[in-house]
Structure 1
Amino acid sequence: MKIMKKLLFISLTTLLFISCSNDDDVQPESIPEAFEKGILITNEGPFNNGSGTITYISEDYSTVAQNIYRTVNGKELGNIVQSMGFQDDNAYIVVSNSQKIVIANRYSFKSVDSINTGLQNPRYFIGADGNKGYVTDWGDPNDNNDDYVAVFDLRTNTISASVSVPFGPEKMVAYSNKIYVAHQGGFGQNNLISVISGNSVESSITVGDVPNSMVVAGNSLFVLCGGNPSYTGNETAGSLVKIDLSSGQVSNTYSFGATEHPSNLTMDGTNLFYSLDGKVYKLNSSAIALPGTDIISGFFYVLQAKDGLLYATDADDYASKGSLKIFDLSTNQQIQDFQTGIVPGGIYFNE
């Protein structure tokens, strides 16, 4: 995506960045007054140059707006838009290479604040309560001993504590006042889940190699582990690990084939979904017996299941515009296809 050399000062009520256009092409349509009740896509953008963006798709699919943060505020987010999280009325947009978190109202996307001190390589944000948030940070990605989880005071938008953790902290889930952090391993490989309570690590749980995604189902945490890739010279099989959240102990581990490396675990109802070798698989969380049943074909970058639908992003060649495809899980058929920005790496629902 090209970067405009001059700022675009445009009205919320007169301009729309539609899905079939370039992010820099302004179309004289009506942009929504608020970006609620819809889908938000974080687009990483070109690596090491240019800016990431956010795409909005309305709940009824009638409106698709590209680069909404720049549209509203007249400035870019930065490089790379890694992820986004919500707390109350705010969206916390993690911009990793720019070493900052941009805070915007989640419904208007008007800029609120930014956090650009105390961060080195931020990855993911999660809100813990009305006053506290957590952000995983690799520190120096070439140093396995300086990784941490930053604790934010959301009243002042400042770092209130830094929790030292094993290398490669990535995605998080919250459960019963605790934060579960998956240590995928950064530029290497790891096999841990850190359990954070307050401002300290309460315990750690050993899982399979390279835990890449997690979901909470009842009193269980399912962790999908990709396994060490072949290029490491120490290839290991992927696995699905079930953790009893009452005891903090692994209750079951289900292994994939020796060269199978699954990713993108998501859940809808009692069914789990994940990606493996160009297919999406489905399996029931109450009676897991691998392998699952493949239901959809496609190499997808991110998956999210919700209300009988599967949302899947396609990063294409990682340099051109990507897309969001929506599948009806009752038929496993594609029902929608929308253009996004470059490298659509996150799917979020604004409700």
Structure 2
Amino acid sequence: MKLSKILMSAFAFTLLFNISCRNEDPITPDAPKGAYENGILVTNEGNFGSPTASVSFISNDLNTVENNIYSANNGQAPLGDVLQNIGVQGDNAYLILNNSNKIEIVNRYTFKKTATVTEQISQPRYIAFANNNYYVTNSSGSSKFVTVYSTATNAFVKKIDLASTGERIVEAGGKIIVQNAAYSSGNKLTFINPTSNTIESVLAVPTGTIQKTISNGGYVYTIASTSTDSYIYKINPSGTINSSVTLTGIGNANNLEIDGTKFIFSSGNNVYTMDMNTTKVPTTPIITLTNTTWSSMYGFGVVDGKIFISDANGFTADSTVDIYSTSGSLLKTINTARGTNGFYKN
């Protein structure tokens, strides 16, 4: 046999052996990041004036519920007074404590505390992220402003004064947008350039009081209402209205969420859904709550095709949370903690 044929045979055998070994190598799955990966974080305000705020965790399959996860993972330390909002970025969760005037930062998967921010904080409300910074709205008496911090160091960067209330805040298309409306008063949005951290423009919606502002697909969506009709505005991050839908006959709509290609919103004790690409107004709610007290829809959220609605039970008892499919079928009812107000995918 020629030497070249011997070498070729040896090379082929070696190649086949290596491929076979590689095919038999075990596949190592990613190590779990922590107990609270792949679930829903739930914000519980607690009673105003007392450090009873807390965070609950619901697993994606809805079979596991754990309350008070901050204290459980931080030596039973209390979280604070009035947990308003949670923002998640990277491995961190930012817990906005309104009446404690602070932001507690934890690892979002283990809930171990990593930092506390208090500089230039006064009655903080909501948080958004852009350009390696995080932006927090503050509304304290006549003082309304946005504070900016570095996500790398948590150092204070800048204070941006607002002409009116600073409430919800979102990022869309590389811009930061502040909702200048709260408690059924106000109709404006402020647009901030996160490169210069300066205000670029202020937009007033044509009709209605703004109830909630969210971000989706690079656009800003805000729901505004009057006592008789409501309006969903799709807004460009440049600060102009792209399009709008009039919800004729549905007054005082709020709690706007987007699930896939559908709007989900509430009015009173009713929950409606409609396709984002139509102007046809829904006539029949998918959910109607039988409890009609003021706290029966205190918290509202949509996560991965499930609608979460909390009843705060008048803040005299812990909250109950009803979980529905987006077709309106009740999937499960669970107990959380005092004053459940929000639901966040983790």
Deviates more, 1:46-55 or 1:240-249: 240-249
Letter in structure 1 aligned against 2:154: N
After the TM superposition, which segments of 4 or more aligned residues of structure 1 sit over 6 Å from their partners? none
Q: Deviations over 1:115-145 (max 9, x none)?
A: 012111100011224x31000111x22x1xx
Out of 282, 285, 291, which is 1:294 matched to?
A: 285
Give the TM-score normalised by structure 2.
0.81
Secondary structure in 1 matching 2:319:
strand
Q: Deviations over 1:292-325 (max 9, x none)?
A: 5310012422322233322222212222111222
1:135 maps onto 2:136 in alignment? yes
- What does residue 293 of structure 2 align with? none
1:223 maps onto 2:222 in alignment? yes
- What does residue 70 of structure 1 align with? 71
Distance 2:106 2:166 in 1: 24
Equivalent pairs, count: 304
Residues 73-222 of structure 1 aligned to structure 2 (within 5 Å): 73=74, 74-129=76-131, 131-138=132-139, 140-141=140-141, 143=142, 146-185=143-182, 189-198=185-194, 199-207=197-205, 208-218=207-217, 220-222=219-221
The 1:236/1:161 distance shift into structure 2, 3 A limit, reads farther
Distance 1:219 1:85 in 2: 18
Distance 1:106 1:306 in 2: 17
Residues 233-312 of structure 1 aligned to structure 2 (within 5 Å): 238-245=230-237, 248-249=240-241, 251-252=243-244, 254=246, 256-257=248-249, 260-291=251-282, 293-298=284-289, 299-312=296-309
Q: Deviations over 1:157-215 (max 9, x none)?
A: 122101111322111221121011111146x7211011111211111111244322223
Q: Shift of residue 247 of structure 1?
A: 6.5
Distance 1:306 1:92 in 2: 19
Q: Shift of residue 272 of structure 1?
A: 0.4
- Output the aligned Cα RMSD: 2.2
Maintained 8 Å contact 2:300/2:341: no
Maintained 8 Å contact 1:171/1:212: no
1:338 maps onto 2:331 in alignment? no
Q: Deviations over 1:211-266 (max 9, x none)?
A: 22223444643211244xxxxxxx78543223244662353352554x92111000
Contiguous gaps of at least 5 residues in structure 2: 1-32, 290-295
Maintained 8 Å contact 1:149/1:162: yes
Maintained 8 Å contact 2:231/2:244: no
Maintained 8 Å contact 1:125/1:133: yes
Q: Which has the larger radius of gyration?
A: 2
Deviates more, 1:216-225 or 1:174-183: 216-225
Secondary structure in 2 matching 1:317:
helix
Give the TM-score normalised by structure 1.
0.80
Q: Shift of residue 52 of structure 1?
A: 0.6
The 1:156/1:47 distance shift into structure 2, 3 A limit, reads same
Maintained 8 Å contact 1:267/1:306: no
